[in-house]
Each structure stands twice: as structure tokens, then as C-alpha cells.
Amino acid sequence: EAAVTQSPRNKVTVTGGNVTLSCRQTNSHNYMYWYRQDTGHGLRLIHYSYGAGNLQIGDVPDGYKATRTTQEDFFLLLELASPSQTSLYFCASSETGGTSQNTLYFGAGTRLSVL
């Protein structure tokens, strides 16, 4: 069974604060993704990566940085957090990219509040 672990599960910060969300997958998957989930918008892709050192820009990247340090670890960085970044964040992994074989395995999510 695929395993994706996110930390922390909950985070509260202030406007202008610095936040790092962590994700680790133990599936030996090549692709990792960061999504945010907001009511009315569904799941929106922030950044993704197809291997260590690689970074691809997603659909809503503004205000976010990401880094893939190893095949297992993918981090999402908010260097100057704003209230508009209050959201539920999900990390996911998949063996391949957007092909017909693609299945995404999601973590349990991190709920971030920016006050």
C-alpha cells in the first residue's frame, strides 16, 4: 500500500510568517505533487516534481516555493505567508506523470491557518 506522510497536520502562523510543509513518500515513486484544497475550487496544483532536484510549476504557484531534496522528500515553502494561503494542503505521489497509468496517492493533509 502506498504511503505518503505529511507534517505537520495542523499549523497556525501570522501574516508574513515563514512556513515549511513536509511530505515523505515511501513508494519509490518518481512524481510528487503539492495541491491546495479550497471550497468551490477543488484541488489546485501548486508545484510538482518528477525527481530529486527537479521542480515544475503548477497552476497556482504564486507565493509558494518548493524543493525536492530526495526521491522521498518534497517540501512546500511559504516565505511570507498571507491570509489568502489559509487552506488545506495535500501532498501526493505517483509512479508516472499524466499518463493513463497514473494513480495519485495522497497524504492526509495539512491544515494551515494564516492569521
Partner 1 sequence: GDSVTQKQGQVTLSEDDFLFINCTYSTTTYPTLFWYVQYPGQGPQLLLKVTTANNKGISRGFEATYDKGTTSFHLQKASVQESDSAVYFCALANYNQGKLIFGQGTKLSIKP
Q: Site residues (CB under 8 A) for partner 1?
A: 4, 31, 33, 35, 40-45, 48, 50, 56, 58-59, 90, 92, 96-100, 102-109
Task: Give the DSSP per-residue string, 35-55.
Answer: EEEETTTEEEEEEEESSTT--
Least CB distance to partner 1 at residue 15 (A): 27
Least CB distance to partner 1 at residue 98 (A): 4
Least CB distance to partner 1 at residue 113 (A): 17
Half-sphere exposure of 92 (CA within 13 A, CB side): 22
Least CB distance to partner 1 at residue 74 (A): 14
Residues 6+ apart with CB under 8 A from 58: 33, 34, 44, 45, 46, 47, 48
Q: Which residue, 17 or 71, is less far from partner 1 as judged by CB?
A: 71
Q: For residue 48, which of 63, 67, 29, 62 has the smallest C-alpha distance?
A: 67
Q: Which residue, 59 or 62, is less far from partner 1 as judged by CB?
A: 59
Q: Which residue, 15 or 41, is less far from partner 1 as judged by CB?
A: 41
